[in-house]
Amino acid sequence: MKHLLSQLHELEKKLRGGAILLLDYDGTLTPIVKSPELAALPSNTRKLLRSLVRHFKVAIISGRSLADVKRLVKLKGVHYVGNHGLEISGPKAKLVKREAKRTRPVIAEICGKLRERLERIEGVIVEDKGLTASVHYRLVRRELLVDLKKIFEWVVKPYIASGAIRVTRGKKIFEIKPSIEWDKGKAVLWIINVIDPKGKLTPIYMGDDQTDEDAFLALKHRGITVLISEKPKKTHAKFFLKNVDEVETFLRKLSEIKGRV
């Protein structure tokens, strides 16, 4: 896996026909923070994205709800993908997976049980995002993690067994999703087809978490996939950047490249 900033010359050749920027939010455009409500988009990053929208098609991909990621980014002319691809909104694009909408009551029920059972564990955050849910435990003391995981597994086990939901793990987080054949990879292919049905643009996908691996895999033979990680890890991505600062550096370089092609 190559460092993306060392490949800018080769990248410039691929971008002659244009590009679609597909950018994860948490951990890519903003640093991972202790609590999800603290992940505000820096004003300089918003300004940079606004300038990139003039030259590229841009989509923001997030595990957050669609309303939440729109509220945080606040840019027009951008496609927004929320809840790991279960809801999409943007210019000439709108999608909400109907199968996921039917699971809303189940997600709400699970969140209610988790809040009740995890009440004594300080620092845990149960986030009901409508179509999915997240249990954040970054603020939980280490000695309480075993109990937290046991309670979590006890609550979700019957729902997994019934086929109603599936659970994935991320950075200090459990993700609860409807048990349907849909993920960030399928969502990215869907939105690329809407934006670029003739396949002339180069997709550039950037993400930092396990859920982004579905998108890396979906774009394995098409486009540029970039893992954001300080440490080497097993991934389907072709390139890497170390952190959010390097993402910003790359986006600035991208803006300069577009001015030359």
Tens digits of residue pLDDT in 177-225: 999 999 999 999 999 999 999 999 999 999 999 999 999 999 999 889 9
Task: Name the H helices within 23-181.
Answer: 43-53, 66-73, 98-101, 104-117, 145-161
Largest CA distance in the chain: 58
Domain identity same for 59 and 186:
yes
Rounded CA-CA distance 105/162 in Å is 15
What are the φ and ψ backbone dihedral angles of 99, each rounded to 5 degrees?
A: -60, -35
* AA identity, residue 178: P
pLDDT at position 20: 96
Residues that are catalytic? 24
32 and 26 in contact (C-beta within 8 Å)? yes
88 and 80 in contact (C-beta within 8 Å)? yes
The residue to which tokens 């659970």 are assigned: 167
CATH of the domain at 118: 3.30.70.1020
pTM over 0.85: yes
Domain identity same for 88 and 114:
no
Domain identity same for 88 and 10:
yes
Domain identity same for 209 and 86:
yes
Geometric angle at alpha carbon 225, from 201 and 233, rounded to 5°: 180
133 and 170 in contact (C-beta within 8 Å)? no
Domain identity same for 90 and 197:
yes
CATH of the domain at 13: 3.40.50.1000
Domain identity same for 124 and 174:
yes
List the one residue out of 107, 79, 93, 73 whose CA is nearest residue 180: 107
pLDDT at position 152: 98
Domain identity same for 144 and 155:
yes
- Sheet (strand 133-136) strand order: 125-128, 133-136, 173-178, 165-170
* AA identity, residue 121: I
The residue to which tokens 């067994």 are assigned: 161
Domain boundary among 115, 145, 178: 178
182 and 100 in contact (C-beta within 8 Å)? yes
pLDDT at position 258: 65
**Count of domains forming the chain:** 2
The overall average pLDDT reported for the chain is: 93
pLDDT at position 259: 53
pLDDT at position 33: 76
pLDDT at position 56: 93
77: left (phi over 0), alpha (psi -120 to 50) or beta: left
CB neighbour class for 155 (10 Å; exposed up to 12, middle 13-18, buried from 19): buried
Domain identity same for 169 and 191:
no
Taking the CB of residue 106, how many other CB atoms lie within 10 A of it? 17
Domain identity same for 135 and 148:
yes
Domain boundary among 144, 178, 212: 178
195 and 57 in contact (C-beta within 8 Å)? yes
Domain identity same for 65 and 137:
no
The whole domain housing 156 covers: 100-178
The residue to which tokens 């980014």 are assigned: 73
Task: Name the H helices within 118-236.
Answer: 145-161, 184-195, 213-218
CA torsion 142-146-149-151 (nearest 10°) is -120
Rounded CA-CA distance 52/50 in Å is 5
Domain identity same for 93 and 110:
no
Strand partners, 126: 135
Domain identity same for 228 and 104:
no
Q: What is the pLDDT along the chain (261 residues), one digit of tens a residue?
A: 899 999 988 888 888 788 999 999 999 999 887 777 778 898 999 999 999 999 899 999 999 999 999 999 999 999 999 999 999 999 988 999 999 999 999 999 999 999 999 999 999 999 999 999 999 999 999 999 999 999 999 999 999 999 999 999 988 999 999 999 999 999 999 999 999 999 999 999 999 999 999 999 999 998 899 999 998 899 999 999 999 999 999 999 988 876 544
